[in-house]
A and B are shown apart, each in its own frame.
Chain A
Amino acid sequence: MGTDRYAYQSRLRRVSPLPKLALTAAALLVCLCCNSVWVGLATVLVMGVLITALGGLPARVYLHFLKIPLAFLAVGGLTILIRSYPAGAAVVAALPVGGRLWGFTAGDLRQAASLFCKALGAVGCMYFLSLNTPVTDLTMALERLHVPHLMVELMELIYRFIFVLAETAASIRVAQESRLGYQGFRRSLRSLGTLSSMVFLRAWRKAERICTALDARGYTGSLTTLAGDYAPGLWLFPLAAGVAAGQLAVLYLERMAVG
C-alpha cells in the first residue's frame, strides 16, 4: 500500500531506523526554517538523489510520489497568491472584478513560490523516511525513543489490521461493482454504506477470533517481539550534517545573490 511496498525493497531497509529518522528530521527542520525557494528545490533534489542512489528506488517512482501532494499545494498556493487590491495598485497580473483588482503583486508571487517550494522540499524529506523505512521498523524506533509501550503496540496492531481490512473492503467492492452497485449517486451511497458497515462487522468478528486465538496461546496482555538485526548506519549522521550544511550554503548563496 502506497510507500510501504517500496520501503521493503529499499537497500537501506536493513539500516537501523534511528539514523534515517535523524537525517529526515534535520533536513526537514532546516528546510522549514529557511523558508526559501532555492533551499526547498535543493532539498527535494538532494532527497531524490539520496533515495534513488542509496535506496535504489527508480527515479520515476519518486516523481510519481511527488505528484500526490501537488494538488493540495497548487490550490493552497493559488489561494494565497490571489488577493484583491484597490484599482490602480501595482499588480503583476490582475482581473478587474467589481471595481477592485483581483490578482497578485511581485511580493505575493514570491511568498507563494517560497511556500510551494518549501513544502515540496519537506515532502521530499518525509519520503526519505517513508520510502526507506517500513512501518514496523519505525515503531521499533519509537519504542526506543520512549513512546509508551501501549501506544507502540496499538500502532503495530493497527498497521497489521489495515491490510486485512483493506483486502476485505477491496473484494466487497469488486463484488458490488460487478453487480452494478455504483451506478448513480443513490445506489453508490447505499453500496458504500453496506460496504463500510460490513467491513466494520467483519473487523469486529475477526478481532474476537484473534483474541480467542491469542488466549489459547497464553496471551497475558502484551505482544512482545525481538528487535531485528540492523546495520548501525552511523555513516548517516555525518551525511545528515552534510545535507543540513548544504541547505544552509544554498540559503547563504541565495542571500548573496539577492543582496
Chain B
Amino acid sequence: MRHSRRNRILLTGGVLAGLLGLLTINAGAMHIAEGYLPVNWCLLWGAVCIPFVAAGFLSIKRRIDAAPRAKILLAMCGAFAFVLSALKLPSFNGSCSHPTGVGLGAILFGPLTMAVLGLIVLLFQALLLAHGGLTTLGANTFSMAIAGPIVSWLVYWLLRKAKAPASVAVFAAAALGDLFTYVVTALQLGLVNGGMVKFLAIFAVTQVPLAIAEGLLTVVIFNVLEKYSRAQLQELRVL
C-alpha cells in the first residue's frame, strides 16, 4: 500500500518535471550550450565546418569584388538573420520559441553564404545572448548554418523544379530544414553521451509543432516579400 503510494508520488513528480522541461526547453533548445561537448568533439565539429565556411567566404569575396555594394547588403542580411532569431514565435501549445530562420536564410541567400553569415550570427548569439557557446560554436554552426540550410535549399529547388506552388515549396523547405537541424543537434548530443533515441524523442515532441509554425511563418513572410520586393528577390536570384 505504502509502496504504491510512493510510486504514485514519484510518478506525478516525474510527469510534472517532464512537462516543465518541455515548456522551458524551447528557449535555447537548438543551441548546444557552452561546455556541453568534450574538447575532441568541439574540435571535430569545428574542423567539419571549415571547408563549408571557407567555400562560403570565397563566394562572398567574389560577389563583393564584383560589386562593393554587396558587402553592406550581406551585412544587413546577417543582421536580419540575428533579429529574426530573436523574435518570439507563437506555438500551438502556448509556449514561446524563437524561429531559426534556417529555411528563409537558405532560400534567400543560398547555403554557401548562409554558412558564413550563420557563423557570425551564432558567435554574436553566444556572446550577447548566451545562446550557444564559444567551444560549441563548431557544432552549432554545422547544425544550424550548414546542415539545415543545405536541406532547405535542396528541398526548395527540387520542389520548384517539380513545378510545385511556391508556398508549398517554401513551407516544406522551412519545416524540413528546421527538423533536420533538430535531428543533427540530437545526433551531436547523442553521439557524446549516448541515448540518441531519447534526445530525438524529446525533440520530436517539442519541435515538430515548432517546425510547422516556422514553416507557416516563412510562407507568410515569403508572400509579403513576393508582393512588395520582387526586385530584391530577383537580385538575390530567388525567383
Residues of chain A whose beta carbon lies under 8 Å from any beta carbon of chain B:
1-4, 24, 28-29, 31-33, 35, 40, 65, 68-69, 71-76, 78-80, 82-83, 93, 95-96, 111, 115, 118-123, 125-127, 129-130, 135, 138, 148, 150-151, 153-155, 157-162, 164-166, 169, 182, 185, 188-190, 192-201, 203-204, 206-208, 210-211, 214, 219-221
Contact = CB atoms under 8 A, between A and B. Distances in A.
Contacts of A214: 72
Interface in B114-151: 116-117, 120-121, 123-124, 126-131, 133-135
A158 B133 contact: no
Contacts of A151: 57, 116, 120
30 contacts: A2-B130, A24-B134, A28-B134, A29-B39, A32-B135, A71-B27, A71-B28, A72-B25, A72-B33, A73-B36, A79-B195, A120-B35, A123-B33, A125-B34, A127-B130, A150-B60, A151-B57, A154-B75, A162-B79, A162-B83, A189-B213, A193-B219, A194-B220, A195-B87, A197-B229, A199-B80, A200-B221, A204-B76, A207-B75, A210-B72
Interface string B49-81: 000000001001100100011011111111110
A153 B222 CA distance: 29
A75 B202 contact: yes
Interface size class of B (residues with CB under 8 A): 35 or more
A79 B202 contact: yes
Contacts of A75: 21, 24-25, 29, 202
B193 interface: yes
Interface stretch (B9-17, B157-165, B175-183): B9-17
A155 B120 contact: yes
Contacts of B90: 182, 185, 188-189, 192
Contacts of A148: 57
B34 A96 contact: no
A157 B89 contact: no
A197 B21 contact: no
B217 A196 contact: yes
B198 interface: yes
A69 B217 contact: no
A35 B38 contact: yes
B76 A80 contact: no
Interface in B76-128: 76-80, 82-84, 86-87, 89-90, 92, 104, 116-117, 120-121, 123-124, 126-128
Contact of B128 (A4, A40, A71): A4
B83 A65 contact: no
A187 B71 CA distance: 35
A203 B75 CA distance: 10
A207 B83 contact: no
Given A79-B198, A189-B216, A204-B232, A196 B57 contact: no
B135 A95 contact: no
A129 B128 CA distance: 11
Contacts of B25: 71-72, 75
A187 B124 CA distance: 31
A103 to B, nearest CB: 9
Interface in B1-45: 7, 10-11, 14, 17, 21, 24-25, 27-29, 31-36, 38-39, 42
B204 interface: no
A158 B128 contact: no
A121 B31 CA distance: 17
Nearest to A119: B35
9 A-B pairs with least C-beta separation = A122-B35, A193-B220, A157-B75, A161-B79, A119-B35, A197-B224, A188-B90, A207-B76, A2-B128
Nearest to B26: A71
A26 to B, nearest CB: 13
Interface string B194-237: 11001100100000000001001101111111001100100000
B133 A126 contact: yes
